[in-house]
Amino acid sequence: MKYLLFIALFSISFFGKADEGMYLPFQLKNNKKDMKAAGLELSIKEIYNPKKPSVKDAIVSLGGFCTGEIISSKGLVLTNHHCGYDAIRENATPDNDILTDGFWAQNYGEEKPIPGLTISIVMRIDDVSKTINKALNDDITPAQRQATIRELSDKLTEEEVDGTHYSAEVKSFYGGSEFYLFVYEIFKDIRLVGAPPSAIGKYGGNTDNWMWERHTGDFSMFRIYANANNQPAEFAMDNKPYLPKHHLPISLNGVEKDDFSMTMGFPGSTDRFLTSYGTELATEKEQPARVKIRGEKLRIMKEDMDASDAVRLQYASTYAQVSNYWKYFIGQTEQLNKNKVGDRKKGIEKAFTDWVNAKSRRQQRYGNVLKDIEDAYIELEKINAIQVYFYEAIYSVAINKFMISHMSLFGMLKTADADDPAVQKEIEKLKASKDEFYESINRDTEVKLLASLLDMYMDNVPRDQRSIKVNQIYATYDNAMGMLVAEINGGMFSRKESYENFLENPTYDALANDDLFIVTTSLMTDYMDNVRGPIANDAKVKLNKANRLFMEALRKMNPKHKYYPDANFSLRLSYGNVLPYTSNDGKNFKYYTTMTGLMSKEDPNNEDFIVPKQLKTLYEKKDYGRYAKDGELWVNFITNNDITGGNSGSPVMNSKGELIGCAFDGNWEAMSGDISFEKDFQRTICVDIRYILFVIDKYAGASHLIDEMTIAD
């Protein structure tokens, strides 16, 4: 009876249906009835068909960090403003600040190439689990298991792409129990087409980030270019706009409460099988440290950005990224505690234990799973500080990362002269990257970051996890790394001129006598020795195996349930409905916002709520064109679709596969959702497609872009 009760509870609270679930496209056949009941009118094959055009052919991975959708027969791609933010910033200057003012190409010739940005489209997904699993068994070591998986994955991808223009990769799911081969076309000629001013694309700024209600026009537009054969190619002036197999038609009918909605995209990472032990480490140790470090980074950058437009453009993208997850970690910690996620996890673990203990055969296979997980986290907690502080306070600072990139050269110069061919090759590689690096940083800002964050690192990472050399230098400067930075004023690497002089005559002694270089690279070595050392590695191996068995057991406990794997940047679909919600504090929220609400937030003295003059004029005249409903322009709406980071820019489609919005955020009350889906109030925040088209058409006057779209009747 206890087991039956658990099954019912587990199905509802841990892996729900309709609103919860990031499903691989080929899994949708198992969800057909649920999707139809929710309102879907398309067939499953119209959504995913590896042999014929389908919705999946219009869904793209933007740079491997966001999602976009093709919305015209000429390769026009819609995504979020924050996804295109860095590409926009790179093309902005103090004299032509398109980040602040917006940008709209009037023809193909004005579209701006974005070097390094790629767009990937999934051709098909193949199940290769049997091929890989038949070579695995419980008798091989974890190292042998990983080597076998890697070897077979490489073989499968090589066979798939040999002689073609395709790319492929094998991804693992359910902790390494299942494996799927993804075949892609990866396009390398991507150009910026349009973006609203930041006052529209980021309206609400950090104040409204992760919050509902929102009034943000979070969108930007790119175009895919291909060669004469409509295939991926490097940038070339004679490339042509890509002709997609399918592009999404656009609906101007808007949304109503309970309307069917689905998103398709590339969610980055969830951890919904995480145990109470992992949840406890995150809330008590890891996330508070990240918040502390990021808060200091934001303070330093903001001070210098406010003082200089040039510095503002240099750090705009970095600041936005740091800020986004600074607030995310604050919210997730708060909601994990508030929503009692740890208690829910313990309930699942208790039921799991009861199920395991019911049969001796289960005890043999799963009896040690939770103990192994607990033991692994005890060991991993010991290195939590160095892991978090190295990444957040050291490696993520641009100048530190640049110095660390010289470790290979440092090692070479110890035994070889500068004219050695291998050394020369390394120097040429460094020379190729130096201009871009020095253009991207402000020396004074980097020095401030170095001084403050190095002190934070030394104050929080245990002494016995720091090398003798680091501790000696630390003592030399009276246990204040800020004094080291101040005395050498950033070191050889902080000045382009001094760095270029070094490259002209690179010596081992020049690097060895730069205390800041030695400290930074030694911290990298400390990180490798501790976080990737044998003790930590053993704990991770134990944890990975235990997690895989935990997932395996949960799926056996409830064999009729439609499980979905954690997000891992693979193509997924979620479905649900347009819905309001009531927070766990009893506050009721509508399912949409309007221009009237946007204007009510206007504050000329707050950079987060400045309304562009032209937008305000259109509002005052109620000049919304065909994009209004009953005289009002909708801006954002919410659904109960299941998304996470990486889904930014995902299309929100109606029951016919028509575009109704662009997903860009989640709500504060459900910030714990990446670890435990909050079925009663987790929401996806979307830009209404009518607001997007209004900005393009009425605000920017770029009606030529509207003309190439397919507007559904």
Q: Residue 67 has what DSSP assignment?
A: E
If you ran DSSP here, which 8-state letter would residue 104 be given? E
Identify the CA nearest to 101 among candidates 297, 313, 252, 267.
313
How far apart are alpha carbons 505 and 500 in whole angstroms? 9
The backbone torsions φ and ψ at residue 11, rounded to the nearest 5 degrees and listed phi first, read: -65, -35
Three-state SS at 418: coil
Torsion angles phi and psi, residue 685, rounded to 5: -95, 130
Q: In terms of C-beta density within 10 A (0-12 exposed, 13-18 middle, 19 or more buried), how is residue 640 classed?
A: buried
Kindly calculate the radius of gyration of the chain based on its CA atoms and give it in whole angstroms: 26
Number of Cβ within a 10 Å radius of residue 681: 21
List the structure tokens of 644: 């996470």
Segment holding 477, helix H or strand E:
none
- 186: which strand partners? 120
How far is Cα 565 from Cα 272, in angstroms, rounded to an integer?
Answer: 9
Location of structure tokens 């009350």: 669
Please provide the distance, in angstroms rounded to a whole number, between the alpha carbons at the two ends of the chain: 54
SS3 content of the chain, % helix, strand, coil (to 5): 50, 15, 35
Which residues are within 8 A (CB) of 526 and not within 5 positions of it... i.e. 6 or more apart? Answer: 386, 390, 465, 466, 467, 470
The values of phi and psi at residue 661, to 5°, are: -175, 175
Contact 407, 518 (CB under 8 A): no
Of 338, 337, 331, 343, which Cα lies nearest the Cα of 276? 343
Q: What angle do CA 90, 92, 95 make, to 5 degrees?
A: 150
**Phi, psi (5° rounding) for residue 304?**
-80, -35
In angstroms, rounded to a whole number, what is the distance separating the alpha carbons of residues 9 and 470?
53
Q: Which residues are catalytic?
A: 82, 218, 648
For residues 68 and 83, the answer to whether their CB atoms sit within 8 Å is yes
Contact 68, 82 (CB under 8 A): no
| Beta-carbon contacts of residue 98 (< 8 Å; ≥ 6 apart) | 88, 91, 92, 195
CB 688 within 8 A of CB 636: yes
What's the distance, CA 297 to chain centroid?
20
Around Cβ 675, how many Cβ atoms within 10 Å? 23
Whole-angstrom distance, CA of residue 562 vs CA of residue 526: 44
User: In sequence order, what are the beta bridge partners of 578?
Assistant: 639
Report whether 687 contacts 696 (CB < 8 A): no
* Residue pair 168/183 in contact by the 8 Å Cβ criterion: yes
